[in-house]
Every structure is written in C-alpha cells, then in structure tokens.
Chain A
Amino acid sequence: MHISEGILAPQILAAGVVIAGAEVAWGLKKTDHDKIVQVAMASSVFFLASLINIRLGPSSTHLSLIGPIGLILGWSAFPAIFVALLLQAVLFQFGGILVLGVNTVSMATAAVAAHLIFGRPVRSGSLKIAASSAFAAGFLAVLLGASLVGMFLSLSDYGMLTAAKTLVAAHIPLGLIEGAAAAFMITFLKRTHPDVLGMAR
C-alpha cells in the first residue's frame, strides 16, 4: 500500500509533507519523553511483523497491521508509522523518500482513526466486544488507508483513477485478513497482558 516516486505532482507531495508534518508533530507532542523507548520497541515489532510472509491458499501476503498499531500506540502511531515508512524506504526501497509524507498521511491517519473509534471498546469492553472492535478496526483501517492512497493516486496527472479504484477493491479481502489478525492479537493481549493495550493515549 505504498505510492512510489514519480507518480505524484510536487503540489500533492508538498500537501502530503505539510499534513504529515502536522500529524507527526502532534503525535510527538502526545508522546511523553519516557515513553519513546516503548513506542520505538512496539514500532520495531510491527515493522518486523510486516516483513513476515503468511501463506493464504495458493498465494501469500505481508500484513500491514495498521489497525493494531493504532490500537496499541494511539496518537504515537503518527511518528511510529513515519519512522517505519522511512526505514522501509531506506532499507528496502519500498515507497520512497519524496512520497514519505503522502504515505504517512495515508497509513497513519487510518491507524489513529482506528484508535479514536475503537480504542475505548477494545480497552474497556469485554473479550467479545474487544475482539469484534479489533476486527472492525483492522478491517476499516486497511480500507481507509487504501482509500487515501487511492485518493492521492487519482489526484495524479497520469490518469490513475481506474488504478486507484482497483487498488481499493483489491484491499477488501486483505482488510478481512488484517481484521482477523487484529482480533486474534488483541484477544491474546487482553487475556495475557492487558497493560500493553494501555500504552495508547
């Protein structure tokens, strides 16, 4: 779910930088200095998890885990996702550095939206409510992220509207898988270490 270099016009790239800058600044403001290590550690776990290939029938996929990142890190997901995308761009050339702003806006906004909508039921609801909320958070975060990527693509000068629609449609089954992963993960954490879920603010 990355936009590559060369597709977007400088105006859109600039808008992405401005919005992502504001989001990251807000996320850093909401992150206490003594919580930075926890955020870095959680961010690196999600970064590594997104590199694992899961076999699904005849195909395989990497999960982005945007929903669980938002549910666990809360507002800190803004800088955490920015850092993860920067690492992906530098280490594996996924996405890019010039499109970092746009990619951060797409993914981090979806993660924080998941936290704002589903954070409370996940933390204080019963196990069943938490699991269903986590599923919805995982599913909707992927769809929102893909829709934002699609929106940026459709603003490109190269007639990417059909590609954008296809991208959003292709993310519906992936969203269901991400939702299931989020539900399993949150249920496991709620049963064993609910304090990990309290990291989000």
Chain B
Amino acid sequence: MIGSADAFEVCLPPSRLDAFDSRCRVVCALIAAVTIAALRGFENLAAGSMMPVMLLIMDWRTRGGFFSKSLVNINKISVFIWIFLPLTYPGEKLLGPFSREGLMNALIVTWKLNLISSVLLQMIVSLGINGLSDALTRLGCPRKLGMLLTLTMRYVILLSERMATAWRSVCVRSNSIGGGIGAVRVFACVVATTLIHSADRAERASIALARRGGTGGFSQRSASRWRERDSYMCALFLLNSLFIMLFPILIV
C-alpha cells in the first residue's frame, strides 16, 4: 500500500464549492453530518438524503471516480454490520436466523454511513490536508496542532518511499520473509530502523525550521476570507437541518 507519494495526496478536479471559504465548508459539513447522525426514522433519512445526493451529483462528472472508489471503501464495514446486527439483534425472525429489527437497524446504519460520508467527502475530504489544516487553524485549533498535521503529512510523503524500499529490500534479500513470528520480527526491525533514521533527520529539520523562524506553514500564501456567500451557505445548511428534523411533522 505504501511506496508512491501520490497515494497520500488528495488531488481532485476543481469544483464550484472551491469558491467557498474552507472554514465555511468545514462548518457546513459538520452541521449536516451531525444532523444526519441524530436521525432515527426512515422519513427523516429520506429528507436528509437530499443535500448529500445533490452535493454528489453536482461534481459527479469530474469527481465520480473518486466518490465511487471512496464509497466502496467506506461500505466494506457495512458487510460486518449486515451480518452482525441481523444475527444478534432480538426480534421476529424474517430470513432464517436474521431478525427483522436487526435488518432494519443495519439498513439505517448503512444509509446514515453513506449520507454522512458523502457530505464529508465532498465538503471536507476534497479540501485536502493543507486546506483542512488551514481551516482548522483559522477555526481556532491550536497552531501546534496545525503544524503537527502539516509536518506529519510532509513526512509521510517523504518517508513512504524510504520505508517501501526498506521493506522491498528485505523481501528481496530473504527471498521470502514468510509468515509468523519471523515476519513480525523483520517488520519490527524495519520500523525501528526507519524510526532511527527519521529521528536524526527530525533533529536537523527542527534546527533548520527554527533558524528560518518558521512554523512549518506558508504564511505568504493568500488565505481565503469569509464572504457574504459563505454566510448564506451556512444559513442554507442550518435551514436544511431544520427541515430534516421537522419533516415527519410537515408531511402529516
């Protein structure tokens, strides 16, 4: 899984959402996601599906591949949920050992999982690590945390090839490292060696960073600012949440 630095970058085609401030996107995504997490009934979930589906459709032509790949990854956990919940939840048996209530719960959980993930993918994940770090810092998260996030991402990209090379060289030299405790031992030694190399490198990087007076970020990069349209977007998401909550009352 490691080796190519590209695997660690979120590079997506531009979207209309890029016109909004990153803070606005994070706040709106959290409003929508928390609202969906609180839903229990199918009527509310149906109403709550509108916004995530619209967000996905908006950029499906350019980002469809990324969305479908990510949703497939996310739904792997659903298999576990669809086996465990219907098997273990008490209630009327519907399909062999599977209970009706368990199947209902599995459906609700999977539905919520997909809705929340769709919103977060389009609004937050597509920001990338740098955009997210910037948004978090400007939303009031400690500067140290933003710096740690940016630096960790930078070193993940730097060290991924080194670690992959070390692992590959071990595999080549030992023909096959096999399974069992021997493989664990080899793995532990590779990780420890990379840790030692990275500790030396970190010391030099730390001195260089201090000499430059930097904090690991790029302050000269022009930061986006909160505009009127960002406030409208937040208001729209709040109204949508209100609508989802009140939907069963409204249809009666």
Q: Do A and B come from one complex?
A: yes
Interface residues of A (CB under 8 A from B): 4-10, 13, 24-25, 28, 31, 33-49, 51-57, 60, 63, 65, 68, 72, 79-80, 82-84, 86-87, 89-93, 96-98, 157-163, 166, 177, 180-185, 188-189, 192-193, 195-196, 199
In Å, the complex CA distance between A157 and B154 comes to: 39
* Closest CB pairs A-B (n = 7): A6-B112, A184-B188, A40-B151, A6-B113, A162-B88, A44-B155, A41-B202
- Closest chain A residue to B127 by CB distance? A90
- Closest chain A residue to B9 by CB distance? A91
Q: Are A41 and B37 in contact, CB atoms less than 8 angstroms apart?
A: no
Residues of B within 8 A of A52 (CB): 1-2, 163, 167, 187
Give chain B's interface residue range (CB within 8 Å of chain A). 35 or more
Interface of A is mostly: helix
Q: Are A63 and B37 in contact, CB atoms less than 8 angstroms apart?
A: no
Contact digits for B1-26, partner A, Cβ 8 Å, 1 yes 0 no: 11000011010000000000000000
Q: Are B148 and A79 in contact, CB atoms less than 8 angstroms apart?
A: yes
19 contacts between A and B (CB under 8 A): A7-B81, A10-B38, A34-B206, A36-B147, A36-B216, A45-B191, A48-B160, A49-B194, A54-B183, A57-B180, A87-B149, A91-B10, A96-B116, A97-B29, A98-B34, A162-B84, A185-B192, A189-B195, A195-B199
Interface of B is mostly: helix
Q: Are B109 and A86 in contact, CB atoms less than 8 angstroms apart?
A: no
Q: Flag whether B73 is at the interface (Cβ < 8 A).
A: yes
| A185 touching B188 in the complex, CB below 8 Å, given contacts A36-B151, A54-B183, A159-B105 | yes
In Å, the complex CA distance between A104 and B38 comes to: 21
Contact digits for B158-202, partner A, Cβ 8 Å, 1 yes 0 no: 111001000100000000011111011101111111111011011
**In whole Å, how far is B75's beta carbon from the nearest beta carbon of chain A?**
10
Q: Are A55 and B178 in contact, CB atoms less than 8 angstroms apart?
A: yes
Residues of B within 8 A of A162 (CB): 84, 88
- Closest chain A residue to B136 by CB distance? A86
Residues of B within 8 A of A51 (CB): 1-2
Tell which of B124, B194, B210 touches A45, judged by Cβ atoms closer than 8 Å. Answer: B194
Q: Are B191 and A93 in contact, CB atoms less than 8 angstroms apart?
A: no
In Å, the complex CA distance between A92 and B6 comes to: 12
Q: Are B183 and A55 in contact, CB atoms less than 8 angstroms apart?
A: yes
| A8 touching B184 in the complex, CB below 8 Å, given contacts A159-B88, A189-B195 | no
Q: Are A34 and B210 in contact, CB atoms less than 8 angstroms apart?
A: yes
Q: Are A83 and B116 in contact, CB atoms less than 8 angstroms apart?
A: no
Q: Flag whether B85 is at the interface (Cβ < 8 A).
A: yes
In Å, the complex CA distance between A163 and B151 comes to: 37
**In whole Å, how far is A29's beta carbon from the nearest beta carbon of chain B?**
9
- Closest chain B residue to A161 by CB distance? B88
Q: Are A189 and B159 in contact, CB atoms less than 8 angstroms apart?
A: no
Q: Flag whether B110 is at the interface (Cβ < 8 A).
A: yes
Tell which of B117, B152, B183, B196 touches A47, judged by Cβ atoms closer than 8 Å. Answer: B152
Residues of B within 8 A of A54 (CB): 179, 183-184, 187
